[in-house]
């Protein structure tokens, strides 16, 4: 995951070099693919080239062949699911009326969704925590997810922060066991159950869990991922409609929070916009006063 505390970091996908050499035509991968080794969790070394990708799914990296082989039993079902997803997405794109009418391909839109989610991460985490809190029944971790219904905005002009509008968001039941779409949820729950990840987060008394999220766009395709949730993100006084409206508002304006400092209670997240500078989309902090002048009343957020 890119370090969002570093302002200006791009989160834009790029065409896989394998596409250029022609070995896997049409395949693109996300720049948001974790840079460290999926097996030993070693980070990418400063100044070194990126670690090699899994040649199957192209969504995880490994130090070397040994670590790939050692991780295979744990990675196998996720990898196979990813390959299936990539094949399914290519089939959907082949008949997509939106693609034919000039939208980016379904593959590209899926990667823009990944960027969009990465950029709006804080707002989405707070929305997920509030969804859990305002639900009528306790959240069923094995059979439910939070569904975000998105529509691509052609007028976003390539800006990943405003690429989608949020039509709706609510807690939804997973598809029935045995169906293709259920397999996606099962493979991610295995991934999120990764023991190394669990023990790291379990040390944090604030930790609630990783909420499965489905980002369904243009009624064409859904990308499943997990958002870690913490008690500090609960909006205790807010009801369901309130947090959905608030999320819609932030998303519509492309308002992105990033860490810009720290006080005793924790990191302070400041609001800003993603703007084009020298052909790159970069994050620019905006003062609360300048936002207020545009009718956007928000505050900096401390996450203790």
Pick the closer one to Zn ion by CB: 1 or 252.
Answer: 1
Candidates 226, 239, 261, 53; CA nearest to 146 is 226
Residue 27: CB minimum distance to Zn ion, A? 13
Pick the closer one to Zn ion by CB: 54 or 171.
Answer: 54
Pick the closer one to Zn ion by CB: 224 or 229.
Answer: 224
Pick the closer one to Zn ion by CB: 10 or 67.
Answer: 67
Determine how many CB atoms are found less than 10 A away from the CB of residue 179.
11
Percent of the chain as helix, strand, coil, to the nearest 5: 40, 25, 35
Candidates 170, 152, 155; CA nearest to 247 is 170
Return the residues of window 22-81 that contact Zn ion according to CB under 5 A: 37, 39-40, 42, 54, 56-57, 63, 67, 79
d(C-alpha 302, C-alpha 304), whole Å = 6
Return the residues of window 228-287 that contact Zn ion according to CB under 5 A: none
Element (H, E) at 217: strand 207-217
Pick the closer one to Zn ion by CB: 42 or 300.
Answer: 42
Candidates 242, 247, 250; CA nearest to 134 is 242
Helix axes 180-192, 65-94, angle to 10 degrees: 150
Contact (Cβ atoms closer than 8 angstroms) between residue 84 and residue 187: no
Pick the closer one to Zn ion by CB: 57 or 150.
Answer: 57
Contact (Cβ atoms closer than 8 angstroms) between residue 161 and residue 120: yes
**188 binds Zn ion per the rule CB under 5 A:** no
Q: How many residues bind Zn ion (CB under 5 A)?
A: 10
Return the residues of window 78-97 that contact Zn ion according to CB under 5 A: 79
Residue 67: CB minimum distance to Zn ion, A? 4
Pick the closer one to Zn ion by CB: 37 or 214.
Answer: 37
d(C-alpha 136, C-alpha 146), whole Å = 14
Contact (Cβ atoms closer than 8 angstroms) between residue 98 and residue 219: no
Q: Could you list the residues that contact Zn ion (CB under 5 A)?
A: 37, 39-40, 42, 54, 56-57, 63, 67, 79
């Amino acid at each position: 995951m890119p370090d969002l505390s570093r302002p200006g970091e791009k989160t834009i996908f790029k065409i896989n070099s394998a596409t250029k050499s022609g070995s896997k035509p049409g395949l693109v991968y996300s720049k948001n693919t974790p840079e460290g080794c999926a097996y030993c969790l070693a980070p990418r070394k400063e100044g070194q080239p990126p670690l090699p990708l899994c040649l199957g799914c192209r969504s995880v990296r490994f130090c070397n062949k040994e670590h790939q082989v050692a991780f295979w039993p744990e990675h196998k079902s996720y990898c196979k699911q990813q390959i299936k997803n990539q094949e399914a997405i290519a089939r959907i794109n082949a008949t997509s009326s939106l693609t034919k009418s000039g939208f980016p391909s379904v593959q590209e839109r899926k990667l823009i969704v990944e960027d969009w989610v990465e950029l709006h991460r804080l707002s989405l985490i707070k929305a997920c925590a509030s969804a859990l809190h305002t639900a009528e029944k306790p959240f069923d971790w094995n059979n439910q997810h939070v569904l975000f219904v998105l529509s691509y905005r052609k007028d976003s002009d390539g800006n990943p922060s405003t690429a989608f509008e949020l039509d709706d968001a609510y807690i939804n039941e997973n598809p029935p066991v045995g169906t293709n779409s259920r397999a996606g949820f099962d493979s991610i729950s295995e991934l999120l159950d990764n023991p190394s990840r669990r023990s790291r987060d379990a040390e944090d008394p604030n930790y609630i869990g990783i909420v499965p999220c489905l980002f369904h766009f243009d009624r064409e395709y859904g990308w499943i991922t997990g958002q870690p949730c913490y008690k500090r993100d609960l909006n205790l006084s807010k009801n369901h409609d309130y947090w959905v409206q608030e999320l819609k508002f932030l998303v519509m304006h492309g308002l992105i929070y990033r860490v810009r400092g720290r006080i005793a209670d924790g990191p302070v997240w400041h609001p800003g916009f993603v703007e084009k500078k020298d052909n790159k989309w970069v994050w620019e902090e905006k003062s609360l006063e300048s936002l207020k002048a545009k009718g956007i009343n928000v505050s900096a957020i401390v996450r203790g």
